[in-house]
Amino acid sequence: GPWTPEATVEYPEAVRQLHREFLRAGANVLQSFTFYASDDKLENRGNYVADKFSGQKINEAACNIAKEVSKEGDALVAGGVSQTPSYLSNKSESEVKAIFRKQLDVFIKKEVDFLIAEYFEHVEEAVWAVEILKESGLPVAVTLCIGPEGDMHGILPGECAVRLVNAGASIVGVNCHFDPATCLKTIKLMKEGLAAAKLKAHLMSQPIAFHTPDCGKQGFIDLPEFPFALEPRILTRWDVHRYAREAYNLGIRYIGGCCGFEPYHIRAIAEELAPERGFLPCASEKHGSWGSDLSMHTKPWVRARARKEYWENVLPASGRPYCPSLSKPDDWGVTKGDLIQQKEATTEQQLKELFKKQAFKFKPVS
């Protein structure tokens, strides 16, 4: 949560380079670097930033950078809002909407091309966001971070999609929390829901770049490896090729990624869909599709890997024989109440108690 949005004012050069690398990888959309950049989030959970910079300043800087880099290629700029602490602390609809409106004012002033409302665990809040964003007259895309089981109140994907389109969204889908396979399942349910309701909308998909066949309803957050030991789960570019193709075949036309996606993952989408798009991204100038450049490697057995047939079928080893291949999601049954509401860091005493319950969760050094 804390400590990312202010990068737009503290390290603009880094954010600029980040946008640039995704643009070169084939991205058609540069999304303003404003995730969790609402005022209520900025002052939340020990983030000192709000004292130094206003949310307005941070959001404006984000738009400036995205607009500037977009001119280096052919990309649209989208302004983005996301789930708010205000909603999670049961603030009123008008209070929550006020938060979104404040960010929207910046996006309008900065003339973004369209708007994205993303990462909502509750469809209700997403609907509120859409209702505000559409006031701008700009196209609105909206994604929930839910799986096939639906949102935190058990509202199923199909129904969620219907509510969002009725609220005014022209693009609906999912982002974050789950791997590509799971996200595509969820979007399929959204598509069926829209069809049943005779509604039309574009579909959008932004999974995480980690394999999570073992996660539960709340996605990768509950996996024991979250957030600092997810490396063995990272998608290969070939996993992304498969994802891009399956997403396209499902009728999804806004195909991207969320946590863990690096420029080379986005490039894999662009390379897989080059036939449909009619061109390769400029970052492919020095990256032969399906490893074709390996044909110049010195070793014959590496040269033999210069082919789709090889990479499509490789079963990559983890190099970790003392680790399992799946994990049990962590979840102590505590999902609301003081512990979750409190804004301060958990005390040592609280940690001790929580830890006691879970002594067995600690495993031997591998």
Subset of 71-90 contacting a second copy (CB under 8 A)? 88
- Tell me how many residues contact a second copy (CB under 8 A): 95
Binding-residue pattern over the window 285 to 324 for a second copy, x denoting contact by CB under 8 A: -x----x-xxxxxxxxxxxxxxx-xxxxxxxxxxxxxxxx
Is 176 annotated to bind ligand?
yes
| Spatial CB neighbours of 320, under 8 Å, sequence gap ≥ 6 | 232, 366
Taking the complex as a whole, the smallest distance from the CB of residue 314 to a second copy amounts, in Å, to: 5
- Asked whether position 362 contacts a second copy by CB under 8 A, the answer is yes
- DSSP per-residue codes, 269-310: HHHHTHHHHTS--GGGGGS-GGGGGGGGSSSHHHHTT-SHHH
Instruction: Please compute Rg for the chain using Cα positions.
Output: 21
Residue 180 lies near a second copy (rule: CB under 8 A): no
Torsion of CA 304, 306, 311, 314, to 10 degrees: 20
Q: Measured from the CB atom, is 125 or 159 closer to a second copy?
A: 125
CB of 260 to a second copy, least distance (A): 10
Least spacing, CB of residue 130 vs a second copy, in Å: 24
CA-to-CA distance for 52 and 11, rounded, in angstroms? 14
> In whole angstroms, how close is the CB of 365 to a second copy at the nearest point?
6
Report in angstroms how near the CB of residue 144 gets to a second copy at its nearest. 18
Q: Which of residues 10-29 bind a second copy (CB under 8 A)?
A: 13-14, 17, 20-21
Residues of span 342-361 touching a second copy by CB under 8 A: 344-346, 350-351, 354-355, 358-361
Residue choice 60, 125, 222, 272 for contact with a second copy (CB under 8 A) = 222
Q: Name 255's bridge partners.
A: 205
Applying CB under 8 A, among 197, 199, 234, 250 the residue interacting with a second copy is: 234
166 lines the binding site for a second copy (CB under 8 A): no
Interface with a second copy in residues 97-156 (CB under 8 A): none
Q: Is 63 annotated as a binding residue?
A: no
Q: Among 210, 243, 254, 261, which residue sits at the site for a second copy (rule: CB under 8 A)?
A: 210
Residue 81: closest CA among 151, 47, 131: 131
Pairing, β 114-120 against β 76-82: parallel
Q: Which stretch binds a second copy (CB under 8 A): 110-118, 136-144, 163-171, 211-219?
A: 211-219
- Work out whether 45 is an interface residue with a second copy (CB under 8 A): yes
Angle between helices 93-109 and 55-70 (to 10 degrees): 40
Report yes or no: 201 and 158 within 8 Å, Cβ to Cβ. no
Q: Is residue 245 a contact point for a second copy (CB under 8 A)?
A: no
Q: Is 238 in the site for a second copy (CB under 8 A)?
A: yes
Tokens of 139: 């196209």
Q: How many CB atoms lie within 10 A of CB 250?
A: 15
How many Å apart are CA 183 and CA 211, to the nearest integer? Answer: 11
Sign of CA dihedral 6, 11, 16, 18: negative
HSE toward the beta carbon, residue 360, CA cutoff 13 A = 4
Q: Is 259 annotated as a binding residue?
A: yes
Interacting residue with a second copy among 56, 64, 136, 327 (CB under 8 A):
327
Residue ranges for the known binding site for Zn(2+) are 176, 258-259
Residue ranges for the known binding site are 176, 258-259
